[in-house]
Structure 1
Amino acid sequence: MPTTATAASRRRKSSSSRRDDEAPIIPILARKVREVEAKAQKGKLGPTNRVKFQVIAFLVREERTRVKADPELTDSARAELLKRLEGVAQILAKTAARDTSIIPLLEADQATSPVAKRMRRDWLLESGAELPPDELIITDVVPVAATPVVSAAIAERQVTPPMVESRLESNPFLAPDTSVAIPKETPRRRLDGWDLMGPLYKAFETGAGGGAASMELPPVPEFDHISPKGLEVMPHQMRFVEAVRAGKRSFLLADEPGLGKTAQSVLAASVAGAYPLLVVVPNVVKMNWAREVERWTPQRRATVIQGDGENIDAFADVFIVNYEILDRHLEWLSKVGLRGLVVDEAHFIKNLSSQRSQNVLALASRVRETTPDGKPLLMALTGTPLINDVEDFDAIWRFLGWTNGERPGSVLAEKLDATGLTPADKAFYPEARDAVISMGIVRRKKKDVAADLPDKLIADMPVQLDDEFGRSIRQAERELGERMAAKYRRIIEARGRVTDGIDEDIVRLVAQHEFDDAKNADAGGDNVFTMVRRIGQAKAGLAADYAVQLQRSVGKVVFFAKHIDVMNQAEALFAANGLRVVSLRGDQTSTARQEAIDAFNNDPAVSIAVCSLTAAGVGVNLQAASNVVLAELSWTAAEQTQAIDRVHRIGQDEPVTAWRIIAAHTLDSKIAELIDQKQGLSLRALDGVSVEPGSQDSVQLAALMHLLREALGA
């Protein structure tokens, strides 16, 4: 005869069986949710259990709706079943609290991927449910043909960090968007027969129409809805973010350096909901970007990709990668469903033949293809979009989808067509410039949006190279000029003609040939590059000594140089004078570089920051100083401006002075003059200033032409 306990157990089983007959899916869900909970207790869920978690979540909702609507259930039975479903839901909630990356998976209300559909079908069949034929047969979705992102040349370098595999497989519930794969018929336009790219460049080169190259932005809202607690967004930043809120999704943000482009981008992504977001940056600013994401959008997670990405957080909202390693991460980045792409210091991609540029453009194309509405957030950030030529715009416009390099895109073409003009009409050019600007160019100058920002002055400090080293430099310059002059004369003789003056075409030809030879690392003898390096070495001690004297009178100083040996020489002199310095170089880790920046800005004992022009000239905040020493000249006006604006930026209270150390009576003086002339292009194209067009030659080529003319006695 059974014991009382046994009888009670049988009664409980019988009661449970009756309830299971009324809702046979519930015990299956209870078993599955316990399996997921056990996995979550051991660490983050893998792809299979993430799918299982989400299928449980929407089946609980389906069953709850059915139980509430079932007229055959008694009130007590309905209450009991709802209580059991609530128990499953509570386990789901506890699991999500343990692994917060799965919280978004609770939001799906149906199975949309083949994997999830099969799982739901199998569980329902296990419960004895009868399913319609269309739910029994499940086929995989044919993938949409996509533009290749990874070229054959870099395919073998691709890496997929282990955690990324989990992310790629963890959210299969978004049905692929096939709308972008359907070719759209392009309407015939009035300007289809015209070459439009040349006129567009010309419109900017001449500054047609005048005025700053900045689109109309919404007014500052009455209330600040975007500033995190303890921070305040400046009016010009808020207006930009309001443009994003209004629906604009592609921008060339060309504000002058120091006006907070990073913060504007982070806030724009938040307002647009453009996550996952990829930010491609110079290596020197990766850690700073991660800080800015945390600072302005503390509810979002950022991860910095280093090397092969073994330690990244694959479920982060923002991925930050530097240009140099982007190539090995293209494949997986093209698959994670990016909804936004920011390219910082976008002038880095101006060379379309470079792998760097090709990587960024291919990835941007993929992001446009895979974003459901075809309108991802694309932002090119650079305070210096034009370096030598107005066609530096080309790669940036392609990245933003405004042109394809050969013709304007459909939106820009419509705007040009709407002018009713053609490139044969003079009035076309200001209209064309305005059309491109309206696509999303935003350019603000410090004097216009930061009225309280102190003045900036560039002061030249000529120095005499009177020692033997200095005399050898001047002799080498003369020999280089004479070498080119001899080649010039041979060409004149070979052509058998005599001219009264100098033939500028042949001057250019000879200088270009010399320049091409100089770029060959195997070329022997002195060339324009070795000359400038020797001048920098000769000036190093004089520049460092001036920085010491300056530091004693004004406090902290930022010392910029182009070459490592110049930096080393300066640091040795600073140490000999008992000064504590930090160094910002290209071979540092991001962490070490950020520690050096923090020490300079926050530690009163640190007197001088010795910085590489190329490694620390962008994205670095050194506003604890108000004096900059440029020990070596850059080859571009943009690089010089970027360096000075590490100090002259929002938050600076003192007037900023940049001291250019220039070796008198050498090529250095001419290079300084040429750099200043290069400022005219940006003033015309971006700021609408009336400046006489100058030469579009590179500084190096122009310097060689100068040496040749001097040797010819011009």
Structure 2
Amino acid sequence: MSEICSSEEIERKRQLALQKKKEALLKSQNATNSQRKVLPLVQNNVKNTHALQNIQKPQNNICYNQKNNFSKMSIGQPILNKNNLKMKSDSKNQNRFSPISTESFFNNKTTGPICSFHMVSKTMFSVDMSRFCQKTIDVFKTIPSRSYDPKIRQWSFHLKDYDLLISSLRTSNPENTILGIPTSFLTIFKKHMNEVNENLDIDLSSIDPQLLKSLMPFQREGVCYGISKKGRCIIADDMGLGKTIQALGIAHYYKNTWPLLIVSPASVRYQWSDAIFKFLPSVSTHYVLQFSSSNDYFADAKIVITTYENLIRHCDKFRNHLFGFIILDESHVLKNEKTARFKATKDIVSAAKHVILLSGTPALSRPIELFPQISLVTKFIGLREYGSRYCAGCKRPFGYDYSGHSNMEELQILLKALCMIRRLKGDTLIELLPKKRQIVLLNPDLIKAGTEKMKDCLKQLNKTSLKPLEKQRQILEYYNESSGCRLKAVCVHVANLLEEGKKFLVFAHHQLVLNEICNLATKMKIKFIRIDGKTNSDQRKQMVDNFQEQESIQLAVLSITAANSGITLTAAQLVVFAELFWNPGILCQAEDRVHRIGQNNFVLIQYLVAKGTADDYIWPLIKKKMNVLNGVGLDSNFSFKEISTTTQSIKEQSNLDAFLSQTFTEAKGSESPIKLDDEMAETNDMDELILNICEEDFNSNDWDDLIIME
């Protein structure tokens, strides 16, 4: 048991400890200031406390009240005379204690609101305040062009008063934090502020008469827009509105700068030849060259048509031949400036005087995908400026992240003013009937979810030690397995449609699904065509023509990734997606193989969805990405509010029993939300599939935002 000390002993020990502490302090002071004189320590004596009233100590050893007197001093503290008050700035004692003033401690200093500026129309900008401030509102009221919308509580001003508002805010309240429109963007907006639409006054008489008489009014407007931009623009009209004829019209207007180079995906290269022969009969056929190998020579060709793959393989040959006008079809394939495709294209485009980009979906999922395409037609800002303003750019440990989105309304205005024209079917083709979308919930009795392989994939995905590449591999395996589990229900739905005699398209992603649908049609003795990644350009064109012209061909089995663009199949009025795809831009393109110029009937789009499978996670991801595209004006009328829902019929055809009796492994298990990459190549080889995914895709997945479909 420890010894209990008396109060006198405790006081003595306390005084001794204080004395040792002060001696150490004085020793340190003597080392830094040899001229300092230290008075004797006050011992166990309270009689000398009255002398403290006339003695000052260093400020860091005392606490003052409001009358600058000492509020309290402990016995045993060193007493310094007035001549020794000043201390050196490097003294350790000076830095040991710095009392915080009440003003700083309680943060009483007032600051103004944060005022963020952004464009809301071609001539108007708005200001968002972080909090209400009457002084700032009073400044707003002094601006002549002010406008206030009470519904959204937003102040708007004319662009001509931008500088006046900025200076007024700074003068009236210097504490305001102003986040204005960056100078590079502001210059563009001011330049186009007073621009009047005089496109219709452009003389188009130099264009081939055959093409000119084939132009619809909105297509003529597109041609004039391209000419007003000096032949450097992006035509982003909705799929099926005739971007090809508009591009040829602009190119023929500038025919003095030819030779003309047309670069397109391999699947549509021969369609360009057909369009040239149809709309530009003034160009002799021997001046049109389909470049496919190194054995082809440009010679005196006026129009050269090639693919992006050939451009990469024979980049030196194209670089050494000067093309004055270049058309880049399906330009969304150039969305990643790190790819060999973009680098080769940029190298060739840099020497051209006129460049036209064509794409019905220039951005498939993110605003950053627009920047590489914009940079090919105009040099206005850098990647960091664009990414910071419109992609919610932020710095990460390994670089900048531009996978987000911000200021979407302003970006839409910027694109229209700078280089992009976009029209939708609903705004231009009044005679084109709208398409209707429908979700078909597959019969759960026909869904064999929860196989052993799926369980194993989910078990692996739940491991926290998985690296990103390993986790991606497990996700792809789960997606592949999920497609097989819903295959029976898909075949039942397709079989019902075939028995009803409907002529329609079926899109799928996996070869397994494509194969089984073809087997079903074969057993039912239904004529069909199939287009996937293995179908070459010549075969594709022949199959499309057969489907369009022959009523006996009832079904078109198509790969989502290989046949979503470049073909016209208006002979059908029904499109069925046997599988979902996580990129909404690809889905929109696939839909419009049927819903385009030449379609005279209503079009029905059916999405087959199976609960308890990967569909629970892909559909919310599609909705999220589509909302981003809506903000930039690239929505393609993809509205989720108008989608109806129905359930699959449970009847099965008797003549399909043998086919539909295939065994599916039954197992019970719970699935957890799965993160799906936003872009994957079509292949059966898992290793090749992963290698085809770029690093950007790994860093920009939307894992945390997925919601299970209700």
TM-score clears 0.5: yes
Corresponding position: 1:596 with 2:536: no
* Cα offsets for 1:59-83 (capped at 9, x unmatched): xxxxxxxxxxxxxxxxxxxxxxxxx
The 3 A distance-change label for structure 1 pair 432 and 619 is closer
Q: Which has the higher contact order (CA 8 A, sep 6+)?
A: 1
Question: Offset at 1:691?
Answer: 11
Question: Offset at 1:266?
Answer: 1.3
Q: 2:271 aligns with which of 267, 283, 288?
A: 288
Quote the residue 1:52 is aligned against.
Answer: none
Report the residue type matching 2:427 in the other structure.
D
CA RMSD of aligned residues (A): 4.1
Would the aligned equivalents of 1:540 and 1:566 in 2 still touch at CA under 8 Å? yes
Quote the residue 1:260 is aligned against.
Answer: 242
Corresponding position: 1:332 with 2:287: no
Between the aligned partners of 1:290 and 1:564, the Cα distance in structure 2 is: 31
Quote the residue 1:637 is aligned against.
Answer: 584
Quote the residue 1:471 is aligned against.
Answer: 450
Report the residue type matching 2:240 in the other structure.
G
Between the aligned partners of 2:351 and 2:565, the Cα distance in structure 1 is: 28
The 3 A distance-change label for structure 1 pair 556 and 282 is same
Structure 2-normalised TM-score?
Answer: 0.57
Corresponding position: 1:401 with 2:363: no
Between the aligned partners of 2:523 and 2:196, the Cα distance in structure 1 is: 53
Q: 2:628 aligns with which of 676, 681, 686?
A: 681
Would the aligned equivalents of 2:504 and 2:573 in 1 still touch at CA under 8 Å? yes
The 3 A distance-change label for structure 1 pair 223 and 339 is closer
SS at 1:558 equivalent: strand
The 3 A distance-change label for structure 1 pair 585 and 432 is closer
Question: Offset at 1:216?
Answer: 4.8
The 3 A distance-change label for structure 1 pair 330 and 554 is same
Quote the residue 2:438 is aligned against.
Answer: 459
Question: Offset at 1:476?
Answer: 5.2
Quote the residue 2:572 is aligned against.
Answer: 625
Report the residue type matching 2:199 in the other structure.
P
Within 5 A, what are the aligned runs for 1:640-659?
640-659=587-606
Quote the residue 1:568 is aligned against.
Answer: 515
Between the aligned partners of 2:297 and 2:491, the Cα distance in structure 1 is: 41
* Cα offsets for 1:463-518 (capped at 9, x unmatched): 1464685331xx6556545544452xx8xxxxxxxxxxxxxxxxxxx8xx44x324
- Return 5+ residue gaps in structure 1 as ranges: 1-189, 368-375, 410-427, 491-509
Would the aligned equivalents of 2:508 and 2:559 in 1 still touch at CA under 8 Å? yes
Within 5 A, what are the aligned runs for 1:347-358?
347-358=332-343
Quote the residue 1:166 is aligned against.
Answer: none
Would the aligned equivalents of 1:636 and 1:675 in 2 still touch at CA under 8 Å? yes
Would the aligned equivalents of 1:560 and 1:630 in 2 still touch at CA under 8 Å? yes
* Cα offsets for 1:110-166 (capped at 9, x unmatched): xxxxxxxxxxxxxxxxxxxxxxxxxxxxxxxxxxxxxxxxxxxxxxxxxxxxxxxxx
Report the residue type matching 1:377 in the other structure.
H
* Cα offsets for 1:629-649 (capped at 9, x unmatched): 111111200011110011111
Would the aligned equivalents of 1:462 and 1:661 in 2 still touch at CA under 8 Å? yes
SS at 1:458 equivalent: strand
Would the aligned equivalents of 2:211 and 2:245 in 1 still touch at CA under 8 Å? no
The 3 A distance-change label for structure 1 pair 277 and 554 is farther
Between the aligned partners of 2:185 and 2:626, the Cα distance in structure 1 is: 17
Between the aligned partners of 1:340 and 1:355, the Cα distance in structure 2 is: 22
Between the aligned partners of 1:252 and 1:215, the Cα distance in structure 2 is: 20
Question: Offset at 1:306?
Answer: 5.2
Within 5 A, what are the aligned runs for 1:497-516?
513-514=467-468, 516=469
Corresponding position: 1:381 with 2:358: yes
Question: Offset at 1:565?
Answer: 2.5
Quote the residue 2:608 is aligned against.
Answer: 661
Q: 1:219 aligns with which of 167, 184, 200?
A: 200
* Cα offsets for 1:10-48 (capped at 9, x unmatched): xxxxxxxxxxxxxxxxxxxxxxxxxxxxxxxxxxxxxxx
Q: 2:470 aligns with which of 517, 525, 530?
A: 517
Corresponding position: 1:438 with 2:417: yes
Between the aligned partners of 1:518 and 1:215, the Cα distance in structure 2 is: 54
Between the aligned partners of 1:215 and 1:611, the Cα distance in structure 2 is: 45
Would the aligned equivalents of 2:330 and 2:359 in 1 still touch at CA under 8 Å? yes
SS at 2:530 equivalent: strand
Would the aligned equivalents of 1:284 and 1:586 in 2 still touch at CA under 8 Å? no
Would the aligned equivalents of 1:196 and 1:408 in 2 still touch at CA under 8 Å? no
Report the residue type matching 2:374 in the other structure.
W
Would the aligned equivalents of 2:461 and 2:471 in 1 still touch at CA under 8 Å? no
SS at 1:228 equivalent: helix
The 3 A distance-change label for structure 1 pair 614 and 218 is same
Between the aligned partners of 1:479 and 1:200, the Cα distance in structure 2 is: 53
Between the aligned partners of 2:530 and 2:510, the Cα distance in structure 1 is: 13
Within 5 A, what are the aligned runs for 1:550-565?
550-553=497-500, 555-565=502-512
Between the aligned partners of 2:454 and 2:303, the Cα distance in structure 1 is: 51
Question: Offset at 1:430?
Answer: 6.9
Report the residue type matching 1:389 in the other structure.
R
Between the aligned partners of 1:195 and 1:315, the Cα distance in structure 2 is: 55
Question: Offset at 1:328?
Answer: 1.9
Within 5 A, what are the aligned runs for 1:240-255?
240-246=222-228, 248-255=230-237
Report the residue type matching 1:382 in the other structure.
S
SS at 1:560 equivalent: strand
Between the aligned partners of 1:482 and 1:202, the Cα distance in structure 2 is: 52
Would the aligned equivalents of 1:286 and 1:320 in 2 still touch at CA under 8 Å? yes
Between the aligned partners of 1:346 and 1:567, the Cα distance in structure 2 is: 27
The 3 A distance-change label for structure 1 pair 296 and 430 is same
Would the aligned equivalents of 1:253 and 1:261 in 2 still touch at CA under 8 Å? yes
Quote the residue 1:10 is aligned against.
Answer: none
Question: Offset at 1:215?
Answer: 10
Would the aligned equivalents of 1:201 and 1:390 in 2 still touch at CA under 8 Å? no
Percent sequence identity is 22
Would the aligned equivalents of 1:541 and 1:570 in 2 still touch at CA under 8 Å? no
Between the aligned partners of 2:361 and 2:704, the Cα distance in structure 1 is: 26
Within 5 A, what are the aligned runs for 1:26-175?
none
Would the aligned equivalents of 1:667 and 1:703 in 2 still touch at CA under 8 Å? no
Within 5 A, what are the aligned runs for 1:271-286?
271-273=253-255, 274-286=257-269
Report the residue type matching 2:239 in the other structure.
P
Question: Offset at 1:329?
Answer: 2.1
Question: Offset at 1:202?
Answer: 13
- Return 5+ residue gaps in structure 2 as ranges: 1-162, 164-177, 387-406, 641-674, 680-699
Would the aligned equivalents of 1:307 and 1:325 in 2 still touch at CA under 8 Å? yes
Quote the residue 1:144 is aligned against.
Answer: none
Report the residue type matching 2:579 in the other structure.
E
Q: Which moved more, 1:394-403 or 1:256-265?
A: 394-403
Corresponding position: 1:298 with 2:245: no
Would the aligned equivalents of 1:251 and 1:379 in 2 still touch at CA under 8 Å? yes
Question: Offset at 1:703?
Answer: 6.9
Between the aligned partners of 2:541 and 2:493, the Cα distance in structure 1 is: 27
Report the residue type matching 1:276 in the other structure.
P
Between the aligned partners of 1:685 and 1:289, the Cα distance in structure 2 is: 29
Between the aligned partners of 1:446 and 1:467, the Cα distance in structure 2 is: 38
Would the aligned equivalents of 1:254 and 1:385 in 2 still touch at CA under 8 Å? yes
Quote the residue 2:330 is aligned against.
Answer: 345
Corresponding position: 1:578 with 2:525: yes
Aligned residues: 450
Quote the residue 1:503 is aligned against.
Answer: none
Would the aligned equivalents of 1:197 and 1:406 in 2 still touch at CA under 8 Å? no
Would the aligned equivalents of 2:582 and 2:621 in 1 still touch at CA under 8 Å? no
Between the aligned partners of 1:537 and 1:592, the Cα distance in structure 2 is: 28
Q: 1:450 aligns with which of 429, 433, 437?
A: 429
Would the aligned equivalents of 1:218 and 1:239 in 2 still touch at CA under 8 Å? yes
Report the residue type matching 2:592 in the other structure.
D
Q: 2:307 aligns with which of 322, 339, 351?
A: 322
Report the residue type matching 1:401 in the other structure.
T
Structure 1-normalised TM-score?
Answer: 0.56
Question: Offset at 1:704?
Answer: 4.9
